[in-house]
Amino acid sequence: MLYSDEDKIPSTPGYPDKMVDVSDIPLQHGLSHPTWKQPPLDGSLCISEIQDWCSETNAEHELFRYVTGEGKVRSIRWGEGGMAFHRAARITLKYIHEEEQNKGARVLGILANADTYTYFALMAGIMRAGHTAFPISTRNSDIAVGHLVRTSNVKYLFVSKDHAMQTLAHAACKRLSNEGYEVRIVPMPTFAELYEGDGELFEPLPSMKRPSGSQTGMILHSSGSTAFPKPIHLTQRIMLQWARLPYFGEADMCGEILSSHSLPMFHAMGAILVMWTASTGLIMSSFAPVDPPVVPTPERVFEEAVATDSTLIFCVPAFIEFWSRDAARVERLKQFKSVIFAGAPMTKSVGDVLIEQGVALVPFYGGTEFGCVTTFLAKGPERDGWEWFRLSRHVKPAFIAQEGRDDVFELVCVDCDSHTPAVLNFVVDGDQAYATSDLLVRHPSNPDLWRVFGRADDQIMHSTGEKTNPGPLEAIICRDPRISHAVMFGRGKFHAGVIVQPKPGHEIDPHNGEDLAIFRNEIWPTIEKANDFAPTHSRIFKEMIIAANQNKPFPLTAKGTPRRHVVIQDYEQEIEDAYAAVRDSSQTGLEPPASWTLKDSESFVKNVVDSVLKQKVDYEDDFFQNGCDSLEATWIRNTVLHALRTSKIRTQDIPYNFVYEHPTVRSLARFLAETAGTVSVSGASIVEAMESMTRTYSQNFPEHGPVTPDPGDEHILLTGSTGGFGSYILAELLALPSVSRVYAVNRKNQKSDKSLDERQRAVLEERGLNTDILDSKKLVLLEGDTASVNLGLPRDTIVEIRSSVTCIIHNAWRVDFNVSLQSMEPTVRGTRNLIDLALSSPHASPPRFLFISSLSVYRNWTEGMAPEKAIVNPQTAVGSGYSESKWVAEKVLEICASATSLEPTIIRVGQLSGGPNGSWNTAEWVPALVKSSQTMGCLPDVTGSVSWLPSHLAAQALVEMRKSSAPYLHLAHPKAVPWSRIFQAFAEKLGIQLTPYRNWLANLESHAKADSQVELEIPALRILGFFRAGDKEQSTGEGEAMGFPTLATDEAVKETPVLLRLEGLGKNDVDKWVQYWRQVQFLS
C-alpha cells in the first residue's frame, strides 16, 4: 500500500536542470543583515562558484569562529575563507599530474584527523580545483578504506601526519597495491598553510569551468554497519538542493552561530555545512585549529559552544543526555535558540524534562543517501510533542504501509525538482525514488507530524550512535532447540537485549526467578555463539534475556516470522524492567569460591573476567588494555560484589572503583582475599617476602676478571628508552661527544604490533624531541627482556655489549601500583642479570651502574627529610609491589657493592613534571587531579610544597650523575615551591577556584557512586584511594604536599651542575602543562 503527498511540493520550473527558484519561497535568509547578501541560488552558479561569490561580495561576513588558547574569540570571515579554499585548490592541482588535468574530474580522498576549518577548506578547495572531494571516516578499517578507495577510483589520498592515520592509510594502500591498484598518499595541508598566508600576495585561481548538474562534486559514504561502507555520490545538482534546503524552513539562519564542535566533516551532518554556510550566511563554531585536533567530549563541546556565543547547537542525543544531569548546564541550554539532535533516538524521559524546563529541542532527520528531509530550521519544538517533526516542503514523500500497523510507514523519497536522492532504488508511479528502509510513525492526532519508529531492515540504533543488525544474531539464537523465535531490542539504549519465545515443552513462568535463571543457563551456550559473532556493542548479557510469557505469545506475519515492532511494543514494560535491573545485576551464574584464599580468589576472578570479556586473559593482563569498557567493568564489579555478599562478607566499605584500581586478575584477587581477611594486609608477610626475594638474588655474584684496559670512549647500555623519561635520557646521551654507542634495550610490547623503531619514534614525537636522533650511527635499538637469559638478545649481540659497555643505566621498570611483589619479581631478576653482565666485563673496572629507583621506597617514612642513604627497614617501602620491588633491587645492589668491585649508584627519582613542550603523561596523578578539578569546578589547596622536576632537566642531571661515585643520590627539584603557587596558577589558567583539600576530596567522593562514564571526565576517581591517603595536613607547612616524603638533595646538587642552576617552578611551567594537555584533548 503506497501513497504520496504531492500537494506540498513546489512545482516552479528552475534553471538549469529543473531547479526550483528559491526567490518564490517565502523564507529568505539575511535580507537585512549588514554584512550578508543572498547569493544566486537559481542554478546559475555551482557551489564552488557560490563560495567565490561570497568571498568577494560577503568578504566581511563571519564564516567560522573559535576560542583561542588565550580564551579570546577569533573569527574567520568569508574573505579569509575564500583565500584558504583557493590555496587548498592550488595544493590539490600541484599533486595531480598535468596529463590527468585534461581527463576530467579526479576523485581525491581525505583520511585525516584534522581541525574543522582545515578539513572544510580542503573539501572546498578540491571542488574549486574542478575535482571531487571524498572525505573518508577515520573509524573505518584498512579493508573498508581500501574498498572505498578502489570502488570510487581514488588515485590521491590526503592523509594527516598522525601515526594512526598514516598506519591506516599505508595498510589500505598496501592491500590495494598487492591487488595491482596504486594510490598516491599526499600530506594533509595544515591550518597555517591555508589560512595564515599573506593576503597581499594572494593570487586567486582563474574562473572555473562550470561543471554540469550531473557531475559528482562530493562523495560521502554509508556507515557500513551491515556490510562494507558504500560510496554515495552527491552531484552538483544535489549539492545545490542541499544548499537550498533552509529556504524551505521556518527560521532565518543568517548570522546564527551553529556549534558544530561534535560534527565530523566526513559525516553528512558535517559536510552539509559546506553548502549551508554559503547559501544562508550561517556561522560555524568549532574547536580551535590545533594539531592533533580536539576530541569532542560532552563537556568540551558544551563549554566551547558557550564560549563562542553559539546560538544553535547540533549533536547526538548522548551529549544532551549527559548535559541534562547538570542543572547549571540545563539552565544554559535554555539560552540556545535550538538544541538540534540527530543520529540516534533520545530517551523520552530526558527530553520531557528538558522541554519542561524550557530547552528548545529540535529533531533532525535524514540520511546520506537522501539528505535532510525535516523542516530545517524549525522555529522550535512542535507543540504536539518535541520528538515529532514535519517533513520539509522540498521533499516529495511517498509511504509504504506496514502490515499490522495503520500508523507506521516506510518513507520513500521521490525524485522531484527540489529534491533528488543520491541513490535511486525504487519507482513510484513511474518516477525514480529512494526507499529509505526507515519506518516513520504518524502522530495520533496531527497527521503532519512524524517521528522515527525504527528500520524496515530492523537495524537497532543505540544511544551511543552504534548500530546492531539483529537478523544474523536472531538466526543464531533460534538454532537453540528450546527457542522458537527471538527478537532483539535496544533502540535508544546503551546495549542490546533479546526476547525469546520458548518452544512447546520448554515454556516457563518468566516471573519465577528460579525458573528464569535455569532457562537462561540452558540457552546460554547458544547466546555465547551469537555473542562470538556480534560486535562488542551488540553483545547480549545474561540478565538482558527476557523469556516470553505464554499468555503473551509473539504475533507472527503470514510468513511465520515475529512482527518485530508489535512484539517490542507488547513487551515494553519487561524491557524497561530489564534495563532497570541490569544496573545492579551481575553474572549470577558464576558460583563464589569455596574459600577466599588467594589461590581460590584468583581462579574465581579469572572465570569472571574471561566470561565478561569473552576472551582468555592472563593473570597479569590489564583488563582495560584487553578491550574492557565501562559497561563490562560494571559487570565485573557487580559479579564480584554478588559473590562476596553470598559469602556473607561485608562490602559496604569497598570503593566503587575497585575494578579500575585493581585491573588485573592477580591484583583484583589479592584485593578480594584481603577484603575477606585470608591475606594479611599488615605488611608483616610482605616484609618476609621482600627479604626472601633479596636473599634469592644476592647469592653467588660472579667475580669480576679484568683482562683489558678501560676504553677511552663511552658505550652505554640504557634500558627503557621508549618510556617518557627514558626518551629524554636517550636524547641526552646521543648528544654527548664522548659517547660512541648507545644500546637501547626495550621489551617487546605484546599488545602492539608496532616495531621498536615505531614505538621509539612515537614517544620522541610526543615529548617534542627530534626524531632525527633515530638515524644516529651511535644508536642501536634492541628488543629484548632483561629478565631472560642474555637479556633475551642474540648471542653475538650480548658478546659485543659485554666487551664494550662502560656504563649501564637501568631505567626500565614495570609501572603498576596495583600488582603484588611477586608479580614484580621479573624486574628484580632483570636487575640481577644486568649486575651479572657488568661483572662479566673484561675491562679493568666494571661498567658504571646507575639504577633508577623511586621516592616510593620512602612511602612509610616518618622521620623528617628522607636521606640519600640506604634504607635498612623494608617496612618503609611496604604498600605496593612497585615500591617493594624497588627496595629489593636497591638492597641487592647494596649487597653486591659490598661483595664485589661493582660500584653502583642508586638514584631515587621524585615526581617528574612535563618536558620542554609541557608533555606530562595524562595517566599520572597530577594530570588526573587537574582534569577532575576542571570538571568539578574547584582545585584543592594543600599545605606544603612541591619539588617536581621537569623531565628533560631530570634526564640532564641523571646523565651527569653517571660520573658520580656516590652510592645514593636523589633526583628532585632542590628549590621546592609552595603548592599554592602552582595551583593558584592552575586556577587562573582554568578559571576555577581553590578550595580546602578536604572540601575538594568530599566533592570527589560525591561522584564515587555515579555512572562509571563519569570517570572519563573525573579520572581522579580511578585512584581515589591515593587521594584519600593524601588527606594529610602538614603541621609546619614546610614538608612535601600530599604526604609525600621530602627528598634530601645535598649530594645530588654537588654532583650535578644542572640542579644547582635550577629556578623554582611557576606560572610558565603551568602554562606549558595545560597547553600540552589541551593539545592532546585531555583538558578542554
Q: What CA–CA distances, in Å, run from 932 to 106, 321, 678, 929, 936?
A: 48, 20, 35, 5, 6
**Cβ atoms 744, 773 nearer than 8 A:** no
Can you give the CATH number for the domain in which 529 is found? 3.30.300.30
Q: How far apart are CA 1016 and CA 153, in angstroms?
A: 40
**Closest C-alpha among 894, 749, 914 to residue 835:** 894
**Cβ atoms 211, 236 nearer than 8 A:** yes
Residue 844, pLDDT score: 92
CB burial of residue 887 (10 Å; 0-12, 13-18, 19+): buried
Mean pLDDT of 928-940: 92
Domain boundary among 651, 679, 707: 679
Which range, of 193-197, 237-241, 1017-1021, averages the lowest pLDDT?
A: 1017-1021
Count how many domains the chain has: 3
**Cβ atoms 913, 951 nearer than 8 A:** yes
**Cβ atoms 819, 866 nearer than 8 A:** no
Mean pLDDT of 995-1013: 77
Q: How many helices (H) and strands (E) does the chain have?
A: 35, 39
Q: How far apart are CA 370 and CA 367, in angstroms?
A: 5
Output the nine-digit C-alpha cell for 772. 632525527
Residue type, 47: I
Residue type, 692: S
Residue 729, pLDDT score: 97
Output the nine-digit C-alpha cell for 72. 579570546
Task: Residue 104: count other Cβ atoms within 10 Å of its Cβ.
Answer: 11
pLDDT tens for each residue of 828-843: 999 999 999 999 999 9
Cell 640542579 locates to 1059
Residue type, 110: I
Residue 536, pLDDT score: 62
| Percent of the residues in the chain that have a pLDDT greater than 70, as a whole number | 90
| Whether residue 632 has pLDDT greater than 80 | no
Residue 852, pLDDT score: 97
Q: How far apart are CA 556 and CA 558, in angstroms?
A: 7
Q: Is residue 260, in this structure, part of any structural domain at all? A: no
**Cβ atoms 719, 711 nearer than 8 A:** no
Same domain, 531 and 663: no
| Whether residue 1007 has pLDDT greater than 70 | yes
**Cβ atoms 329, 323 nearer than 8 A:** yes
Same domain, 529 and 495: yes
pLDDT tens for each residue of 778-826: 999 999 999 988 999 999 999 999 999 999 999 999 886 656 787 788 9
**Cβ atoms 324, 330 nearer than 8 A:** yes
Same domain, 940 and 1083: yes
Output the nine-digit C-alpha cell for 63. 564564516
Domain that holds residue 490: 460-582
Cross-strand pairs, 742: 716, 779
Residue 529, pLDDT score: 84
**Cβ atoms 991, 939 nearer than 8 A:** no
What are the E-state strand segments in 38-153? 62-67, 73-77, 107-111, 132-135
| pTM for this entry | 0.51
Same domain, 624 and 523: no
| Whether residue 1035 has pLDDT greater than 50 | no
Same domain, 578 and 612: no
Output the nine-digit C-alpha cell for 316. 547526538
pLDDT tens for each residue of 408-437: 899 999 999 999 999 998 888 889 999 998
CA angle, 243 as apex, 238 and 247 as ends, to 5°? 120
Which range, of 490-504, 721-735, 834-848, averages the lowest pLDDT?
A: 490-504
Same domain, 532 and 615: no
Q: Are strands 405-414 and 431-442 parallel, antiparallel or unpaired?
A: antiparallel
Q: Is residue 91, in this structure, part of any structural domain at all? A: no
Same domain, 555 and 502: yes
Same domain, 489 and 616: no
Q: Are strands 338-341 and 366-367 parallel, antiparallel or unpaired?
A: unpaired
Spell out a b/e string for 142-180, using b for 16 or more CB atoms within 10 Å of the CB, else e: bebbbbbbeebebbbbbbbebeebeebbeebbebbeeee
Residues in the chain: 1084
Q: Is residue 1035, in this structure, part of any structural domain at all? A: yes
Cross-strand pairs, 485: 501
pLDDT tens for each residue of 254-312: 999 999 999 999 999 899 999 999 999 999 999 999 988 988 888 999 999 999 999 99
pLDDT tens for each residue of 864-873: 899 999 999 9
| Whether residue 634 has pLDDT greater than 80 | no
Same domain, 521 and 655: no
- Going by the DSSP 8-state scheme, the letter that residue 556 receives in this structure is B
Order across the sheet with 338-341: list the strands: 73-77, 62-67, 283-285, 257-259, 312-315, 338-341, 361-363
Q: Is residue 928, in this structure, part of any structural domain at all? A: yes
Cross-strand pairs, 413: 397, 434
Domain boundary among 679, 697, 714: 679
Residue 292, pLDDT score: 86
Same domain, 573 and 668: no
Question: DSSP for 447-498?
Answer: TT-EEEEEETT-PEEPTTS-EE-HHHHHHHHTTSTTEEEEEEE-TTSSS-EE
Mean pLDDT of 162-189: 93
Q: Are strands 912-913 and 949-950 parallel, antiparallel or unpaired?
A: parallel
| Whether residue 727 has pLDDT greater than 90 | yes
Contacts of residue 455, Cβ cutoff 8 Å, sequence gap at least 6? 437, 438, 439, 461
Residue 24, pLDDT score: 62
pLDDT tens for each residue of 339-372: 999 876 787 888 999 999 999 999 999 999 999 9
> Cis omega (within 30 of 0) on the bond before 292?
yes
3-state secondary structure 608-639: HHHHHHCCCCCCCCCCHHHCCCHHHHHHHHHH
Q: What CA–CA distances, in Å, run from 1059 to 761, 853, 960, 973?
A: 28, 18, 10, 7
pLDDT tens for each residue of 962-976: 999 999 999 999 999
Q: Are strands 467-468 and 216-221 parallel, antiparallel or unpaired?
A: unpaired
Residue 412, pLDDT score: 96
CB burial of residue 956 (10 Å; 0-12, 13-18, 19+): buried
| Whether residue 654 has pLDDT greater than 80 | no
pLDDT tier at 16, thresholds 50, 70, 90: very low
Q: How many CA atoms lie within 13 A of 1003 on its CB side?
A: 19
Q: How far apart are CA 808 and CA 851, in angstroms?
A: 8
Output the nine-digit C-alpha cell for 387. 520528538
Average pLDDT in the chain: 87
Q: How far apart are CA 1 and CA 6, in angstroms?
A: 16
**Closest C-alpha among 928, 924, 901, 868 to residue 1048:** 868
Residue 352, pLDDT score: 93
Q: Are strands 184-187 and 154-159 parallel, antiparallel or unpaired?
A: parallel
Residue 357 main-chain phi, psi, to 5 deg: -90, 0
Q: Is residue 996, in this structure, part of any structural domain at all? A: yes
pLDDT tier at 1, thresholds 50, 70, 90: very low
- In the chain the first and final C-alpha atoms are separated, in Å, by 52
Q: What CA–CA distances, in Å, run from 972 to 380, 936, 969?
A: 59, 30, 10
φ/ψ bin of 148: left (φ > 0), alpha (ψ from -120 to 50), beta (otherwise)? alpha
Task: Residue 737: count other Cβ atoms within 10 Å of its Cβ.
Answer: 7
Q: What CA–CA distances, in Å, run from 84 to 90, 129, 207, 279?
A: 10, 13, 16, 18
Residue 174 main-chain phi, psi, to 5 deg: -65, -40
Q: Is residue 1038, in this structure, part of any structural domain at all? A: yes
**Closest C-alpha among 452, 225, 270, 448 to residue 345:** 452
Same domain, 488 and 631: no
Q: How far apart are CA 1064 and CA 1044, in angstroms?
A: 18
Residue type, 502: P
| Whether residue 773 has pLDDT greater than 50 | yes
Cell 503532519 locates to 448
Can you give the CATH number for the domain in which 626 is found? 1.10.1200.10
Domain boundary among 649, 679, 709: 679
Same domain, 499 and 646: no
Q: What CA–CA distances, in Å, run from 437 to 242, 413, 424, 476?
A: 21, 11, 13, 24
Q: Are strands 739-746 and 779-783 parallel, antiparallel or unpaired?
A: parallel
Q: How far apart are CA 1015 and CA 858, in angstroms?
A: 30
Which range, of 186-195, 472-481, 647-656, 982-991, averages the lowest pLDDT?
A: 647-656
**Closest C-alpha among 735, 580, 602 to residue 664:** 602
Report for 100-109, 158-167, 744-753: range of highest mean pLDDT: 158-167
- Collapsing DSSP states into helix, strand and coil, what is residue 154? strand
What are the E-state strand segments in 735-777? 739-746
Q: Is residue 486, in this structure, part of any structural domain at all? A: yes
Q: Is residue 902, in this structure, part of any structural domain at all? A: no
Largest CA distance in the chain: 101
Q: Are strands 450-455 and 431-442 parallel, antiparallel or unpaired?
A: antiparallel
